Amino acid sequence: MITAVLQFAQVGAGATLIQTLVKALALGSVYVLIALGFVIIFKATQVLNFAAGALSMAGAMFMTILISDGGFPLLPFANPLAPAEGETAGIVLFFVHVLIALALAAILGLVIERVAIRPMVGQPLFAMAVITLGIEIAIRPFNLDATALEGRQLGVPWGANSWDWGGAVVPKSYLVAVIVAAIAGVSVLFFFRTKLGVAMRAVAFDQEAAMAQGINVGRVFAIAWAMGTALAALGAIVYGMAPFPPGGSVSQEIHPLLALRVLPVIVLGGLDSVAGAIYGGLIIATAEVFAGQYLSQWNSTLGSGYSTIVPYLVMLFMLLVKPYGLFGTPEIRRV
């Protein structure tokens, strides 16, 4: 934190503002990705996915295993696409690996949906949420064991390189985060226009009525979990790129808590609103980054790392004004 302040002290106020804005946009992109994962799962299956932390980190783990180890341990075949030892993959190859990791994460989501969520259909919402807490607890040790203390490298081709925009230092990873989130967000919006997406919206609106129309609700559930897990994993991978805090790796300390930091985002936007996830992610990230930048002179008063609780404070005040978020559907209370 102190080094960051010194670094910014040398550039002008305008450049600082640009840097802060880009950082807010990049962090917002990560939040949007993970929040979209939450929202798709909640919309289709009415499950608040507390396992998102472990699942997103597992996706990032798949990525590091594929690209750093060149294949999974205990499996007889290696990853043929993996870069040679000591080298980083090219940009195209890197994104191919990202896609493979997302596919693996989606498969993990499918398995979890089939094993733990499907038998619980019709149970109280809270019981379903606690099931996902159980999944989180059960998967987390594997993640932590695999990352070990020093973390695992993601092998990002552009590393921590940055551009110089008239004095403002803009890391390349920030732009990648924004582009990836934009592509994912637009894809999700388009997905809801396809036949399957319409089916998902119908299921979200009324499960029984959707079933009566011949929609395979089980399949919609499975696809929602696959998509939700893959999006969360994408968020974790993007967050693993420098100069986001772990610095180019998957870390034992930061990644498990990443999804919990997104909870204020989905509350702010509304649990079941895609637009809410996008606006919420950008608003919360802006508040967090700007508080971290412009209140840093009171660092000793506020306590180090105060910016990480800004989202929760925004959430608490927001709830007093709008209890169901900006775009959430208010619950109709009946006797």
Partner 1 sequence: MAFNRPLLRTSYEQDAAIFPSYTQKGMAAVFGVVLVLMGLGAPYISAVPEFFLGATWINPITNMLPLAIAALGINILVGVTGQVSLGHAFFMGVGAYTAVALGGNGDEWQACVPFHEEIGLLEERGQCGLGLPIWVWLPFSGAVAAAVGILVSPAAMKVRGLYLAIVTVGLVFIGLHLGRMFPEYAGDFESGRKWPTLDFKLWKEETPLIEFTEDGTWFGLIHLSEEQKQYFLLMALLGGFILLAKNLVRSRTGRALQAIRDRDIAAEVMGVPEFQYKRLGFAISSFYAGIGGALWGSYLGRRSPVDWSLFLSVDFIAIILIGGAGTIAGTMLGAVFVELTPEVVKHRTEWLAEQIDASNIFTPVANFLLTTGESGDFGPINIGTVAPGWTMSVFQWNFVIYGVLIVIFLIFEPLGLYGIWIKIRNYWKRWPFSY
Site residues (vs partner 1, CB under 8 A): 48, 73-74, 116, 119-120, 123, 125-127, 129-131, 133-142, 144-146, 260, 263-264, 266-267, 271, 300-306, 308-309, 312-313, 315-316, 319-320, 323-324, 331, 333-335
Q: What are the residues facing 152 on neighbouring strands?
A: 250
Minimum Å gap between C-beta 120 and partner 1 is 6
Structural contact between residues 256 and 53, judged by C-beta atoms closer than 8 angstroms: yes
Minimum Å gap between C-beta 92 and partner 1 is 30
Structural contact between residues 73 and 160, judged by C-beta atoms closer than 8 angstroms: no
Counting runs of H as helices and runs of E as strands, what totals does the chain give? 13, 4
Structural contact between residues 54 and 201, judged by C-beta atoms closer than 8 angstroms: no
- Which residues have C-beta within 8 Å of that of residue 230, sequence separation ≥ 6? 37, 59, 102, 103, 105, 106, 109
Minimum Å gap between C-beta 261 and partner 1 is 9
- Which residues have C-beta within 8 Å of that of residue 110, sequence separation ≥ 6? 222, 225, 226
In the DSSP assignment, the letter for residue 169 is: E
Structural contact between residues 125 and 48, judged by C-beta atoms closer than 8 angstroms: yes
Task: Kindly report the backbone phi and psi dihedral angles of residue 168, in degrees, each rounded to the nearest multiple of 5, phi listed first.
Answer: -85, 130
Minimum Å gap between C-beta 36 and partner 1 is 17
Q: Quote the CA–CA distance of 68 and 95 in Å, as a whole number.
A: 14
Nearest to residue 191, comparing CAs of 220, 214, 213? Answer: 220
Minimum Å gap between C-beta 23 and partner 1 is 21
